[in-house]
Every structure is written in structure tokens, then in C-alpha cells.
Structure 1
Amino acid sequence: MLPEQLKSQIEKDCADDIESSAIYRGDVKFYVRKDRLIELCRYLRDNQNLGFNFLSMITAADYLDKREKRFEIIYSLYSIPYHHRVMLKIRISENEEVPSLTCLWDTADWQEREVYDMFGIKFTGHPNLRRILMDDDWVGYPQRKDFPLTYELPEFSHNRGNVQIRPTNPERN
């Protein structure tokens, strides 16, 4: 299906779910109403003519002081049987939560945790929303534009003097 056909079919069937749409460099992109995200994604996954059976990416962008709503959540869906792709975007303010897509795609689990860990965006209904990259006691969200760029490296000195440096492959030396 051509991008124009894909865009018009989804717009026709899901007009209430979509705020705006565009085709950019051959990719179909939709801005989606947050409260309709799960219904739209279920339709895209289950519709036999579309078959978006793979959630390939979830990420976020921080537009601090650039837009009315600070964050954008970006979803990339791919149809393995039909080889087409669609991008869904949601705009949210600082403390808004987004519905989790773990009920539709298992791949949403770790991707939503990564977005939470890096941006502090919470996903309602996620079964295990906790840090995945940073330490559990890490303060802040490093991909936010207001995250401080200066820091002190932690000193790991609890075993200084006990560490023996040995060659990794003694037979090579």
C-alpha cells in the first residue's frame, strides 16, 4: 500500500483519534489524541489490511520552552506482512501520563521503561514501571533538556588496594 493510501485509509477509519497527519519522506505520521491511543493502536494491529504487528520503537523528545506541551512521545509501528510503517506522536505536558501499550505489544515493556528512566514520563497501566538504565537511586532524568550537565563521578573506593591487575589472556604474554 502506498503511503498516500495508507494515510487516507487510517484517516477515514479513525478520524476521531487523529489530531493531524502528514507524509514526510515517504513515512506516514499522525498526531494522536492521548485518550484514543490504545484504541487506535488496537485498530492498526488488528485490521487485516494494515497488520501493524510490530511496535519497533518508542522514544520521546523534550521541547523545553519551545512548545506549549513540553514532551512528544513517538511510536514507530511496522507491518511485517505488508512492509509499511507508520509513526504516531502524542504531545503531553510535564506531569501528564500516557497509556501503556504493554496490553497490545510485549515490546512496549522495556521501551516504556527506558522513556520513563530517561525523561520521567509515566505510562499508566504499565506492569513494572521502574528504572531500566540508571541506578535505582539516581536522581533526575538525564535526557531532559533541564538536566544539569555538570556532575561528580562517584568514587568506587570500597575495594581499592584489593584489586589485582592481571592480563586477560596470560598465554599471550
Structure 2
Amino acid sequence: MTFEEIHALLSDKFGSKVIVDSQTSGLQPALFIHPDYIVPICEELRDNQLTWFDFLSCLTGVDHGPESNKFSVVYHLASIPHQHQLVLKVEIEHDRNLEVLPSFKSVSDVWKTAEWHEREAFDLVGIDFEGHPDQRRILLPDDWEGYPLRKDYQAAEEYKGIKIN
């Protein structure tokens, strides 16, 4: 299926409000999905025999910086049988408060590999995934403070007596 056919399929099934925007410039076109619909959209793309996106190849958390107060999650999907790919993006505004993290719905029930990808986005960007079965740090120590891939992250000078460069 082409990008335009997938766009039409999702709009027909879920209505016009589900796709917030589309990005056709660049190497990979992307559909911007309304955050409330990411799980049903992913289920449809996985289960529909016309699309059959059986593989979540990458999930990435993105901090758009303090000036925009936006966070997003980017999903790179692939269909091994149909040999096509698709990028989905979900974006929200957040005030950067570390006490209440930006939150997106988990797709770990759709693709099990999302459990690892979402843990990494939580650990490094500070994104909460609602419904994740085991959301905890995956790369950094449990007592690490902050989220190193945030644009406003201030690295500590030392960790447990060890100087950090």
C-alpha cells in the first residue's frame, strides 16, 4: 500500500480527526496521529491484511526543546510480508515539570518489543507510557536524577563520588 492509501484507510475507519497532520517531505513520510488514537491505529495497522505492520522496528521519544514545550513519540513500522514501511508520530504539549512526566499510551500490547523501546524513552527522555507493564529505567541506574536526552538537562558533576565529564 502507498502512503496515501494508508492515510485514506485510517481516515475511512476512524474519521478525519484521528490524523492530525501528515509530513510528506524528507526520506520517510509520516502521519501525525491524535494521541488518544495511537493504540487502536496501531492495532488496525498490525491486524489489517492490507497493511499488516507486524514489526515495530523503532520507537523514539523526542524533546522538542524548552521553547516549544512539546514532546513526541515516533513509531517506525514495517510490514515484512508486504515489504512496506510507515512512520507514525504523536505529539503533546507539556510544561516540562519533572514531577508529572509527559504521558503517552503504551503500544506494548500491540508489539511486545515496545516494552523495551518505551523503557528507553522513559529512561532517557522522561516520557511516561500509560499502561506499560514494567516502566523503569533500562540503561541508567535506578537512582539517576533527570533525563539525559532532554534539551534542558543539566548533567551532575559527579555520581557516587565519580567525576562525570
CA distance in 1, matches of 2:146, 2:64: 17
Instruction: Give the secondary-structure state (helix, strand or coil) at the position aligned to 1:16.
Output: coil
Unaligned runs of 5+ in 2: 95-100
Give 1:57's aligned residue: 58
The change in CA–CA distance for 1:8 and 1:39 in structure 2 (over 3 A counts) is: same
Please say if 1:131 is aligned against 2:137: yes
Q: Distance in 2 between matches of 1:28 and 1:116?
A: 25
Shift of 1:53: 0.6
Alpha-carbon distance in structure 2 between the residues aligned to 1:27 and 1:70: 21
* Cα distance change on mapping 1:21 and 1:91 into 2, 3 Å: same
Given that 1:3 and 1:26 are in contact with CA atoms closer than 8 Å, whether structure 2 keeps it comes out as: no
Computed over aligned residues only, the root mean square deviation of the Cα atoms, in angstroms, reads 1.9
Higher mean alpha-carbon deviation, 91-100 vs 29-38, is at 91-100
**1:140-159 equivalences in 2 (<5 Å):** 140-149=146-155, 151-152=157-158, 154-155=160-161
Matched to 1:38, the amino acid is V
What is residue 73 of structure 1 aligned with on the other side?
73
Cα shift at 1:2: 3.4
Q: What is the distance in 2 between the residues matched to 1:33 and 1:55?
A: 19
Alpha-carbon distance change, 48 to 87 in structure 1, aligned in 2, over 3 angstroms: same
- Greater shift, 11-20 or 119-128, is seen at 11-20
Question: Hey, what does 1:162 align to over in structure 2?
Answer: none
Tell me how many residue pairs correspond in the alignment. 155
Paired-residue identity, %: 36
8 A Cα contact 2:10 2:41, kept in partner: no
Residue 105, structure 1, aligned to residue 111, structure 2: yes
Distance 1:153 1:131, change over 3 A: closer
Task: Give me the whole-angstrom Cα distance separating, in 1, the residues matched to 2:157 and 2:8.
Answer: 49
TM-score of the two chains, using structure 1 as the length reference: 0.81
Q: 1:146 to 1:25 in 2, by over 3 A?
A: closer
Structure-2 residue corresponding to 1:90: 90
Which stretch shifts more, 92-101 or 77-86? 92-101
Tell me the TM-score normalized by structure 2.
0.84
Q: C-alpha separation between the residues in 1 aligned to 2:72 and 2:104?
A: 11
The CA deviation string for residues 112-151 of structure 1, in whole angstroms up to 9 with x for no partner, is 0000000111000000000000000101000001111452
Larger RCO: 1 or 2 (CA < 8 Å, sep 6+): 2
Question: 1:27-82: CA deviations, max 9, x gaps?
Answer: 23111111111011111111100000101111122112342x42111111111111
**Aligned partner letter, 1:136:** D
Secondary structure in structure 1 of the residue aligned to 2:40: helix
In structure 1, distance between residues paired with 2:84 and 2:64 = 28
Q: Does the residue aligned with 1:27 lie in a helix, a strand or coil?
A: coil
Instruction: Provide the residue aligned with 1:116 in structure 2.
Output: 122
Residue identity in the other structure for 2:83: H
CA–CA distance in structure 2, aligned partners of residues 134 and 5 of structure 1: 41
